[in-house]
Structure 1
């Protein structure tokens, strides 16, 4: 890779005029010299496009005729990107002026690195990690996503406790940087996800294809969060429950899927009952709607899994060794463990995923795989 390759930054925008000034001003102050910025506007009703065209003429603007949401919007932007590194960055982000240098250096040093996430800090709550990204993402043995720095709704302050680079299962779509070669191999974001967890699906496919993903806390960005859909909005229940199961059905090996899926259905049922008992009818309704969508789209789910089967056969054992071996639900709700560092297996888990100072990854050969051989 060129020492200073072109980096293409793509931001998808829908009525985000209030956030664009902060993002684009911070990108203008970025000290990395080879940068192109692509704004994909999803038919905003505000003056986002006119504002960017007037104040930031260097930004390439793609105007969509309708709201294609996060996945398709980014795919449209990625098709226009010329850089060998492609960055997906939310419109409600502010970046450190030197955030790109460590990322570019990482890709140059490790030919098998497919994606990188910076440390994501909270723009609204100084001194805290941010809900959507924190210091890199994982899945537990039942497929629940969590972050190094955020378990469920509990977000930790940033005390430098997670400042070591680490291999991760997934990087946050708030700021996710991809090697274009890897992206071309596995394809872009799955547009059937529409909104939420499509970046986890992309990262999963990268792992299956043999690429590595890392978080580099030396690189920092700040995320406002909820710029498009607020964190506690009831509709977020729909996307999270729907897409989490979609993710597992599409990507898990057959042995693990048939062990995990019945448990997840039971736990999701308990979550629905809990919302009803608490009087949160809309939240419960969105969980039910998620399952109705999954049932109505079983042919789509099976088609996606069938298309993915060769990749699962090739990379499931290595990829599923990256799953956290415990249950986040059990540890958080029943054992009261609210910090990533307090999780039962966190120290051993992070030791085996350590990423070297000079970006030389710890080899995964010999990593214990506690669940045995998986089949497709």
Structure 2
């Protein structure tokens, strides 16, 4: 793999997925235009109807645009873009994230310095300066959780990350049917099963307007989040872990009405504790179970490490 690039031969394609991003995508593209490394910018427009297309056409950086006929979510947009990536490296960048100067060079330098790395994440900050993510850890029950203190990460936040294109393709690409959430944890998990390492470059900084396209805490957010966590476990985790967490989710769903009726325990008010939403998650998982089990077999075929080895090394650490 080359370690330098010319303007005519960039190392990285930066994929920006947008949906109704007219009020924030210009800042993202301005930040990319200020980078000191040559790159290709590919914007995936998920059928925006708010004037985003006009802004993209008028932006002085002249990004390439892949306009999709419907909204496929973040995961679907990144998956669609992968077929159009010809560079050895590919970055994912949220349309509401603004990379600071030197962001791309820090990512490229870190990734190219270590052949064992399959992906390098960024330091993501909220607009007020607080740390949003320094990578992702794997909790003891199989959640992907953002790290806010420096430590070795299990995975990366997909809002700003650089990956080796061939490694991403080799582990099966991006789970397009996730729509959004957990496509990053699932991808990092498959990279680790395939023997790749994951790191974070703390000097690769982006400022993130979190939740500009999807509202954290909303019913949709919780539905996608809970469903995709279970699907990730079914695809990547040891069988005992996947079965245990699916059973726990179903059992809690069954007892929630009793807890509320008895009022013996405080039931959180968050949307993911609403029984109809949890039933819909279980129905979604059940409908996808045959294809997910086929995907699980494919993940196993592409792996060089055992699921148990990865779980024991990272879960709860």
Q: Same-fold call, TM > 0.5?
A: yes
Deviation, 1:121, is: 0.2
CA displacement 1:269-308 (0-9 Å, x = unmatched): 5678779956667961322211111123322222222222
Measure the CA separation in 1 of the matches of 2:270 and 2:110: 45
Unaligned runs of 5+ in 1: 150-161, 326-348, 350-376
Q: Judging changes above 3 Å, is the alpha-carbon distance between structure 1 residues 106 and 185 closer, same or farther for their aligned structure 2 residues?
A: same
Distance in 1, Cα, partners of 2:285 & 2:111: 37
SS of equivalent residue, structure 1 residue 297:
helix
Evaluate the alpha carbon distance shift between residue 272 and residue 188 of structure 1 in structure 2; reply closer, same or farther with a 3 A threshold: farther
CA–CA distance in 1 between the matches of 2:190 and 2:212?
A: 27
Q: C-alpha offsets along residues 34-79 of structure 1, whole Å, 9 cap, x if unaligned? A: 2110111111101111111112352101111111211221122222
2:8 aligned residue:
none
Give yes or no for contact 2:222–2:272 (8 Å, CA) kept in 1. no
1:288 matched to 2:264: no
Contact 1:119 1:217 in 2 (8 A): yes
> Which of 40, 44, 68 is the aligned partner of 1:40?
44
Distance of 1:275 and 1:196 partners within structure 2: 29
CA contact (8 A) 2:192 2:310 kept: yes
- TM-score, length basis structure 2: 0.88
Structure 1 pair 218/196, CA: closer, same or farther in 2 (3 Å)?
A: same
**1:213-224 alignment runs, 5 A limit:** 213-224=198-209
Under a length normalisation based on structure 1, what TM-score does the superposition of the two structures give?
Answer: 0.75
**Cα-Cα RMSD:** 2.4
Give the Cα separation in 2 of the matches to 1:177 and 1:42.
21
> Helix, strand or coil: the match of 1:119?
strand
Matches within 5 A, 1:125-144: 126-130=128-132, 134-144=133-143
How far 1:116 sits from its partner (Å)? 0.7
| 1:177 is the counterpart of 2:177 | no
1:30 equivalent in structure 2: 35
- Out of 205, 211, 215, the residue aligned to residue 230 of structure 1 is 215
Alpha-carbon shift at residue 118 of structure 1 (Å): 0.8
- 2:224 is aligned to 239
**Separation in structure 2 between the aligned mates of residue 275 and residue 75 of structure 1, nearest angstrom:** 41
Give the match for residue 187 of structure 1: 172
Establish whether residue 19 from structure 1 lines up as the match of residue 38 from structure 2: no
How far did 1:321 drift?
A: 3.2
Tell whether 2:299 aligns with 1:308: yes
What secondary structure sits across from 2:176 in the alignment?
coil
1:168 is matched with: 153
**Is contact 2:250-2:282 (8 Å) kept?**
no
Equivalent in the alignment of 2:264: none
Aligned residues: 306
1:275–1:213 CA distance, 2 compared to 1 (3 A) = farther
Give the aligned partner of residue 193 of structure 2. 208
User: What residue number does 1:91 align with?
Assistant: 95
Deviation per CA, 1:65-106: give whole Å up to 9, x if none: 111211221122222122211000000011111112221111
Corresponding residue to 1:10 among 15, 20, 37: 15
* Alignment correspondent of 2:108: 104
SS in 2 for 1:322: helix
Aligned twin of 2:289: 298
Asked whether the equivalents of residues 234 and 283 of structure 1 are also in contact (C-alpha less than 8 Å), the reply is no
Q: 1:186 to 1:313 in 2, by over 3 A?
A: closer
User: Which runs of 5 or more residues in structure 2 are unaligned?
Assistant: 6-10, 262-266
Whole-Å separation in 2 of the counterparts to 1:269 and 1:27: 48
Equivalent in the alignment of 1:68: 72
Distance of aligned partners of 1:114 and 1:280 in 2 relative to their CA distance in 1, 3 Å threshold: closer
Q: Secondary structure at the match of 1:94?
A: strand
